[in-house]
C-alpha cells in the first residue's frame, strides 16, 4: 500500500514503467518456492542479489534483463531514489549489448499448480476496499500521512453455490462468515490479523427486495481489537446472474495488529466497501490475501 501511494504515484516513475520497462508485480513468497519454470527464473534473478536465501523473504524492487541478468536490487522506497536508480540502470542497459541482444522468450515447461490459485468457476470476484474515516492525530510526517489517508485493496471470492444463493435472494452462512473473518479487517496500514471463529461474535446479513442489510461484531479474546459495524447495500440480478453487488460495512474499529501499528487511539470509524470486479483492473486477478497458501481453507467449497 505504501508503495502504491508513494513510489508508484510518482509521475516520472509511472511514465518510465509505461514506456521503458516491462513492469511485473508478484508475491515473492510464491515465486521463491515454486518448483517450476517461473520459480527457476525468479530464483535465477533474485539469487544474484543480497537476498539469495530462499527460505526467507526476497522482497524488494529488481531490475533484470530478459536473459535473467540482475541489474539492480533495491529495497528503499524513497521515490526520488527509486527514480534515480531506474534512470541509471536504464541508461546502462541501453549502452550495453543486452539492449540489442536477441533473447528467446521462455516457455513454461513445468507449472507448480500449488502456486496458481484461480477463482472458483461460476463464482464471483468482488473488489474490497477499506478506509479509516477519522481518528488519527494530525501529523507532518509524509509517510504517516500516506498511511492515514490510504485505502486498502483486496478481493473476495465467492463459490458458484454462493453466487447461485445470492441470485435466489439469500446470503449463505459460509459467505457471511468469509466476509466477516477475512474482509472486515483494518488492512489500511499493512497486512492485518484476520479474525478466527471465536472472535466472530456475530454476522447477520440478509437481502430484502434488492436491499442488503446486516450487522457484524468481531472482537479479540481480550478485547484488544474489535469491529462493530452496520452493513448496507444493494444487489441486482438478471438471467440467473448477479449483475450488481454493492455494499459497505461501516462502524467502530479499535486496536491494531503486528503489521498494522499506529492505528488511531480508541475507537475509530472504518468503512469497508464491496463491488463486483469487472476484470478491467489488473488487481482483479489477485487472489484474496486470506487465501494465501490456503485457498481450500478460504473458500471451503
Span 157-186, contacts to other proteins by CB under 8 A: none
Closest distance between other proteins and the C-beta of residue 258, in Å?
13
Find residue 233's DSSP bridge partners.
212, 247
Q: Are strands 154-158 and 124-132 parallel, antiparallel or unpaired?
A: antiparallel
Q: Which residue lies nearer to other proteins by CB, 178 or 189? A: 189
Span interacting with other proteins, options 169-177, 193-201, 217-225, 280-288, rule CB under 8 A: 280-288
Give the length of the chain. 301
Regarding 286 and contact with other proteins (CB under 8 A), the answer is yes
Span 21-50, contacts to other proteins by CB under 8 A: 21-29, 31, 37-38, 41-42, 45-46
Span 82-111, contacts to other proteins by CB under 8 A: 86, 89-90, 93, 98-106, 108
Find residue 229's DSSP bridge partners.
216, 251
Closest distance between other proteins and the C-beta of residue 198, in Å?
24
Phi, psi of 266 (to 5 degrees): 70, -150
All cell numbers assigned to 242:
448477479
Q: Which residue lies nearer to other proteins by CB, 111 or 161? A: 111
Instruction: Residue 273: name the closest of 155, 176, 147 by CA.
Output: 155
All cell numbers assigned to 103:
533473447
Span interacting with other proteins, options 62-70, 165-173, 202-210, 236-244, rule CB under 8 A: 62-70
Span interacting with other proteins, options 168-176, 196-204, 216-224, 230-238, rule CB under 8 A: 230-238
Q: How far apart are CA 130 and CA 247, in angstroms?
A: 12
Contacts of residue 104, Cβ cutoff 8 Å, sequence gap at least 6: none
Span 240-269, contacts to other proteins by CB under 8 A: 246-248, 250-251, 269
Say whether 245 sits in a helix, a strand or coil. strand
Q: Which residue lies nearer to other proteins by CB, 164 or 191? A: 191
Q: How far apart are CA 2 and CA 235, in angstroms?
A: 33
Q: Give the residue, chosen from 231, 235, 263, 276, that forms a contact with other proteins under the rule CB under 8 A.
A: 231
Q: Which residue lies nearer to other proteins by CB, 164 or 252? A: 252
Regarding 131 and contact with other proteins (CB under 8 A), the answer is yes
Regarding 14 and contact with other proteins (CB under 8 A), the answer is yes
Binding mask 65-84 for other proteins (x = CB under 8 A): xx-x--x-------------
Q: Which residue lies nearer to other proteins by CB, 26 or 35? A: 26
Q: 284 to each of 24, 75, 124, 127, 231, how far by Cα in Å?
A: 15, 26, 11, 7, 23
In degrees, to the nearest 5, what angle opens at C-alpha 63 toward C-alphas 81 and 29? Answer: 100
Left, alpha or beta for 192 (phi > 0: left; psi -120 to 50: alpha)?
A: beta
Q: Considering CB under 8 A, how many residues would be counted as binding other proteins?
A: 94
Amino acid at each position: 500500500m505504501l508503495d502504491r501511494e508513494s513510489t508508484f504515484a510518482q509521475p516520472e516513475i509511472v511514465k518510465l514503467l509505461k514506456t521503458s520497462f516491462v513492469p511485473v508485480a508478484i508475491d515473492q513468497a510464491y515465486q521463491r518456492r515454486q518448483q517450476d519454470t517461473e520459480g527457476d527464473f525468479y530464483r535465477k534473478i533474485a539469487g544474484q542479489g543480497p537476498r539469495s536465501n530462499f527460505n526467507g523473504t526476497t522482497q524488494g524492487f529488481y531490475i533484470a534483463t530478459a536473459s535473467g541478468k540482475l541489474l539492480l536490487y533495491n529495497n528503499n522506497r524513497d521515490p526520488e531514489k527509486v527514480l534515480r536508480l531506474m534512470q541509471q540502470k536504464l541508461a546502462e542497459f541501453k549502452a550495453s549489448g543486452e539492449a540489442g541482444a536477441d533473447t528467446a522468450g521462455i516457455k513454461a515447461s513445468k507449472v507448480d499448480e500449488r502456486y496458481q490459485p484461480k477463482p472458483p468457476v461460476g463464482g464471483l470476484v468482488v473488489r474490497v476496499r477499506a478506509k479509516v474515516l477519522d481518528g488519527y492525530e494530525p501529523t507532518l510526517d509524509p509517510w504517516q500521512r500516506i498511511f492515514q489517508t490510504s485505502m486498502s485493496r483486496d478481493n473476495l471470492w465467492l463459490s458458484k453455490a454462493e453466487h447461485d444463493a445470492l441470485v435466489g435472494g439469500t446470503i449463505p452462512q459460509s459467505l457471511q462468515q468469509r466476509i466477516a473473518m477475512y474482509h472486515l479487517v483494518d488492512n489500511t496500514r499493512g497486512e492485518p490479523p484476520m479474525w478466527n471463529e471465536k472472535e466472530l461474535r456475530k454476522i447477520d446479513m440478509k437481502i430484502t427486495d434488492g436491499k442488503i442489510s446486516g450487522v457484524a461484531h468481531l472482537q479479540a479474546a481480550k478485547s484488544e481489537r474489535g469491529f462493530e459495524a452496520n452493513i448496507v447495500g444493494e444487489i441486482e440480478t438478471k438471467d440467473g446472474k448477479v449483475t450488481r453487488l454493492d455494499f459497505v460495512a461501516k462502524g467502530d474499529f479499535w486496536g491494531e495488529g503486528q503489521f498494522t501499528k499506529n492505528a488511531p487511539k480508541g475507537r475509530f470509524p472504518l468503512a469497508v466497501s464491496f463491488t463486483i470486479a469487472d476484470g478491467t483492473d489488473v488487481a482483479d486477478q489477485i487472489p484474496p490475501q486470506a487465501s494465501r497458501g490456503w485457498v481450500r481453507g478460504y473458500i471451503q467449497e
